[in-house]
C-alpha cells in the first residue's frame, strides 16, 4: 500500500511539473507575441509617416524619382511580409531607402530649412528610437522563450505542443560592418 502511494505521489508530481512547465511556456509565448505587437505598432507609425515625408521632399526634389521609387517599393514590401524574418528584412530595406531620401534632402538647403520637413524628420527620429527599444524588448522575450523551449525538461513538453524557435528581429547585414573611413 505504501509503495502504491509513493508511486501515485510521484505521478502527481510529474503531472504538476508538466502543467507548470506548460503554463510557463504559454506565458513566455504570450510575452513574445505582445513584444512583437509593440514593434508592429511602432513600425505602423513609421509606415504612416513616410508618405508625408516623401511628399514634402518631392516638392523640392522632383527629379529624384529613383529615390522615391525605392522608398515606395520598400514600403510596399512591408505589406507582403508575414514572418518576423521577412518583416525585419523589409524594414531594413525601408531604413536604407530612407537614408537615401535624407541624403537627397541634404542637397536642397531650402528643404532642410522647411518647418514641415524638420517636424517630419524629428518625428521619424523619435520613432526610430521607439522602434529600437521595441526591438530590444522583443529580442529579449524571444531569447527567454527560446531558452525555455530548449532546456530540459521543458523541451519535451514544448516539442509535444508545437512550440518552435522564435526568430530575432535583426539588423541588416550592412549595419553590422564597420564603415571604412579614408582621408
Where are the domains positioned within the chain? 2-170
pTM: 0.75
40-85 pLDDT, tens digit per residue, is 899 889 888 888 888 888 777 766 778 888 888 888 888 888 888 8
* Alpha helices by DSSP H, 107-162: 109-112, 115-150, 154-160
What is the rounded distance in angstroms from the CA atom of residue 80 to the CA atom of residue 90? 9
d(CA 56, CA 90): 23
Distance CA(167)–CA(73), nearest Å, equals: 24
Helix (H) or strand (E) holding 24: helix 2-60
How far apart CA 10 and CA 16 sit, in angstroms, is 10
∠ CA 23-88-178, rounded to 5°? 120
> What is the CATH topology of the domain spanning 2-170?
de novo design (two linked rop proteins) (1.20.1440)
Amino acid at each position: 500500500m505504501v509503495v502504491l502511494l509513493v508511486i501515485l505521489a510521484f505521478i502527481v508530481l510529474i503531472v504538476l511539473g508538466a502543467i507548470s512547465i506548460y503554463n510557463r511556456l504559454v506565458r513566455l509565448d504570450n510575452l513574445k507575441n505582445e513584444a512583437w505587437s509593440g514593434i508592429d505598432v511602432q513600425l505602423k507609425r513609421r509606415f504612416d509617416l513616410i508618405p508625408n515625408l516623401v511628399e514634402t521632399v518631392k516638392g523640392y526634389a522632383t527629379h529624384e524619382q529613383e529615390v522615391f521609387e525605392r522608398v515606395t517599393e520598400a514600403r510596399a514590401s512591408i505589406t507582403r511580409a508575414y514572418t518576423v524574418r521577412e518583416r525585419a528584412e523589409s524594414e531594413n530595406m525601408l531604413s536604407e531607402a530612407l537614408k537615401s531620401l535624407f541624403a537627397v534632402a541634404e542637397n536642397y538647403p531650402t528643404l532642410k530649412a522647411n518647418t514641415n520637413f524638420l517636424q517630419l524628420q524629428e518625428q521619424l527620429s523619435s520613432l526610430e528610437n521607439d522602434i529600437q527599444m521595441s526591438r530590444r524588448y522583443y529580442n529579449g522575450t524571444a531569447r527567454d522563450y527560446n531558452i525555455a523551449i530548449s532546456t530540459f525538461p521543458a523541451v519535451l513538453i514544448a516539442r509535444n505542443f508545437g512550440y518552435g524557435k522564435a526568430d530575432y528581429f535583426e539588423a541588416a547585414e550592412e549595419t553590422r560592418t564597420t564603415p571604412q573611413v579614408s582621408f
